[in-house]
């Protein structure tokens, strides 16, 4: 991950470079390899870089066409090689091999519709000097964060809220509606955050800031209404198609000029990802896991079995109750909102293990359990539906206990 920040003076006044340095400085840990600040006229962009692709030539903020287009970009465009070859065929000339420059040239070629061509994770801002407009975008599922606020005469954005709070004019005040959403849904509903007056760009959306106006436009939505068309395919054919998709998704994420690791929980999701990574990258893949002192949730046996089967170099970190307590305040500092469970703390410790082992990039199975029904959490929906139909039932307080007892038995088995 990198860190980005920026300012656009709506009243056309000069940008305060020192404030830009303060903004990017407070989130410098996101990108310890390099830092850069660009300012000209009403706009200022800042960047803290975690070097993944083109370690020597990917300095940001980056510009092309004599500073006509300038970008600060957090993320990775997985299909940048294919896009680069296509742009070269159209006459574009490149001075680096970074995905950042590909993104700039793609915007030059296709404008704001360029995001429809991207396969990746991103949050970026492009200053379009000829049009005097700031173009911002966030990836389809909001993997990369992008927050913004508007003051009198100034628009501010950053990867983290704390960067915006370096401005004394930005109030550090809780949004009670945002808190209510968080405790109801486990997350705020974009564009709202838990801070009053600070918004997030919704996933799958782009934003244009021009002439004092802010326009947000969705470029992609997930269609949950249509029927899946199988085209008469058999179960084995569908399984083969799924395997090919997983293999392609894993392979394309291995494009990096630094070592790539993988988290290994011992479950099906992360084991499949690690296996596909091992198949495509060979001995370069190192796996990492977290173990627990509590036998109810410890999966170290499965982790060792998976690592031995895959033949990976494996490291793990033991997580005790006091370890969770010890890092919890750091976790909250990074989440910038209340959390409803302690799970991010072990993940924080796991990430620190990967970092201390010299790895900047790891593949995970995040989201796969939800997709393939690996968790029993979906059963809560049925319970809630029953609650809604039978509010007076004496079974209500017993159902969740019954459900999570089954989960515990499944883990212990």
Q: Is residue 49 a contact partner of residue 58, using CB atoms and an 8 Å limit?
A: yes
- 93 as an active site residue: the answer is no
- Token pair for residue 238? 């569908």
Furthest C-alpha separation in the chain: 72
Q: Tally DSSP H helices, then E strands, for the chain.
A: 13, 16
Distance of CA 114 to the CA centre of its chain: 20
Q: What are phi and psi of 38, to 5 degrees?
A: -125, 135
**Active-site annotation holder among 2, 114, 205, 319:** 2
Q: In whole angstroms, what separates CA 253 from the centre of its chain? A: 14
What is the separation of C-alpha 357 from the centre of its chain, rounded to a whole number of angstroms?
A: 22
Selection from 200, 203, 209 nearest residue 134 by Cα? 209
Closest CA to 322 of 293, 354, 351: 293
Non-local CB neighbours of 65 within 8 Å, separated by 6+ positions: 108
Evaluated on CA atoms 255, 289, 161, 199, the torsion sign reads positive
46 neighbors 36 (Cβ within 8 angstroms):
yes
> Angle at which helices 268-281 and 300-310 pack, to 10 degrees?
20
Q: Which single residue is written with the structure tokens 């992008």? A: 146
8 Å CB contact between 96 and 54? yes
- C-alpha–C-alpha distance, residues 27 and 336, integer Å: 12
Which residues are catalytically annotated? 2
């Amino acid at each position: 991950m990198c860190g980005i920040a920026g300012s656009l003076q709506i009243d056309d006044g000069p940008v305060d470079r020192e404030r830009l340095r303060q903004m990017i400085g407070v989130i410098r840990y996101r990108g310890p390899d390099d830092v850069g600040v660009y300012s000209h006229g009403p706009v200022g962009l800042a960047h803290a870089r975690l070097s993944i692709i083109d370690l020597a030539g990917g300095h940001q903020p980056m510009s092309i066409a004599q500073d006509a287009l300038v970008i600060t970009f957090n993320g990775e465009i997985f299909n940048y090689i294919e896009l680069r070859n296509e742009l070269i065929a159209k006459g574009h000339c490149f001075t680096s091999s970074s995905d950042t420059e590909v993104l700039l040239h793609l915007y030059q070629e296709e404008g704001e519709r360029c995001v429809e061509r991207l396969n990746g994770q991103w949050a970026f801002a492009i200053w379009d000097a000829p049009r005097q407009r700031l173009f911002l975008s966030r990836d389809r599922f909001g993997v990369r964060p992008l927050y913004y606020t508007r003051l009198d005469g100034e628009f501010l954005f950053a990867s983290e809220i704390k960067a915006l709070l370096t401005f004394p004019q930005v109030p550090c005040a809780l949004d009670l509606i945002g808190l209510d959403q968080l405790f109801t849904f486990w997350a705020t509903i974009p564009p709202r955050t838990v801070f009053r007056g600070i918004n997030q760009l919704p996933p799958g959306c782009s934003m244009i800031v021009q002439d004092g106006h802010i326009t947000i436009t969705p470029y992609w939505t997930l269609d949950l209404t249509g029927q899946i068309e199988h085209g008469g395919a058999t179960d084995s054919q569908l399984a083969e198609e799924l395997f090919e998709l997983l293999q392609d998704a894993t392979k394309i994420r291995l494009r990096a000029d630094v070592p790539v690791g993988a988290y290994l929980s011992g479950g099906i999701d992360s084991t499949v990802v690690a296996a596909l990574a091992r198949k495509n990258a060979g001995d370069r893949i190192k796996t990492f896991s977290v173990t627990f002192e509590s036998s109810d949730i410890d999966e170290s046996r499965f982790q060792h079995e998976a690592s031995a089967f895959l033949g990976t170099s494996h490291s793990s970190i033991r997580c005790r109750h006091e370890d969770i307590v010890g890092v919890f305040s750091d976790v909250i500092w990074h989440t910038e909102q209340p959390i409803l469970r302690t799970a991010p703390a072990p993940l924080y410790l796991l990430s620190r293990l990967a970092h201390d082992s010299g790895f900047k990039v790891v593949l995970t199975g995040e989201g796969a359990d939800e997709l393939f029904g690996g968790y029993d959490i979906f059963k809560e929906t049925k319970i809630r539906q029953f609650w809604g139909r039978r509010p007076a039932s004496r079974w209500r307080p017993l159902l969740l206990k019954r459900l999570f007892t089954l989960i515990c038995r499944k883990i212990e088995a």
